[in-house]
Amino acid sequence: MCVAAPLLAQDSTATDPRAVQPERPTVATHAHTVAPGYVEIETGVEGDRAGAGKRTYFAPTVTKIGLATHVQLNLITPVVFAGPGQSSGLGDVGLGVKWRILDHNAVLGDFALLPAIKFPTGSSAQGTGTGTTDVSLTAIASYDVHGVSLDLNVAYTRIGAQGANSASSAALWTTSFGVPLAGNLGWQLELFGYPTIDGSGNPSTVAVLTGPSYRISRIFNLDLGFISPIRGRQPNAIFAGAVWNLGSLMPR
């Protein structure tokens, strides 16, 4: 569950296809893609404090496969690890395709669209899934501002009907920065929110995410940090993750 931004907001796969490209599968992401034929694994653990001494841990793993120079397939396979009296198991599996449409645009920077679908493979009764089939579309703009990466995301999700509950809508916005500190050490800072658009009247959520990132090598990256709510129901959380570029699927 690596939530670290790359140290610089640029697609480095043109010069080095093994260059690791950390994303943020739980919150924000950047517009760049894995090189064609290459595979990258992004995984980790996040622990959420839901209140009253209740904690839930989950491991969202994203397998990224480069389909073309500007197209990447995402396979999302989360696992939920719950505490005493709670259930554990596979969460809701998802598929997405990131398509980078623009490079170095004067207004949108590196711009990509990411349509995705989430399937109800987890159990809503046991708390490992939502029980709905959801479709989403994320617009992503990435910039390099004097060595600082800036990633902007806006997402819309259509949540499928379940039982007596009719279909509804959800949205997400993020503004995230990746700042190089020294050598391969960087720091990420992100502000994100879930505005209320489903007519429920619940307060919108706004939270901050921050923590260090360290690139062990050009193919392996580590990160850790925490998430803290500013308003709304976002739980306090801690996370640690890793990203590993496995190399090419194609025989040489």
- Number of domains observed in the structure of the chain: 1
- Residue 5, in any domain of the structure: no
Q: Report the CATH number at residue 161.
A: 2.40.160.40
Which domain covers residue 66, as residue numbers? 12-248
Which residues lie closer than 8 Å to 221 by C-beta, 6 or more apart?
2, 4, 20, 22, 213, 214, 215, 242, 243
- Residue 169, in any domain of the structure: yes
- Residue 7, in any domain of the structure: no
Which residues lie closer than 8 Å to 193 by C-beta, 6 or more apart?
172, 173, 174, 204, 205, 206, 207, 232
- Residue 127, in any domain of the structure: yes
Averaged over successive runs of 10 residues, the pLDDT of the chain (252 residues) comes to 42 81 79 96 88 79 96 95 73 96 96 97 84 96 95 96 86 95 94 88 90 96 94 91 92 62
- Residue 185, in any domain of the structure: yes
| pLDDT of res. 119 | 96
- Residue 16, in any domain of the structure: yes
DSSP string over 55-81: EEEEEEEEEEEEEETTEEEEEEEEEEE
- Residue 136, in any domain of the structure: yes
**Collapsing DSSP states into helix, strand and coil, what is residue 206?**
strand
- Residue 17, in any domain of the structure: yes
DSSP string over 83-142: -TTS--EE---EEEEEEEEEEEETTTEEEEEEEEEE---S-TTTTS--S--EEEEEEEEE
| pLDDT of res. 249 | 83
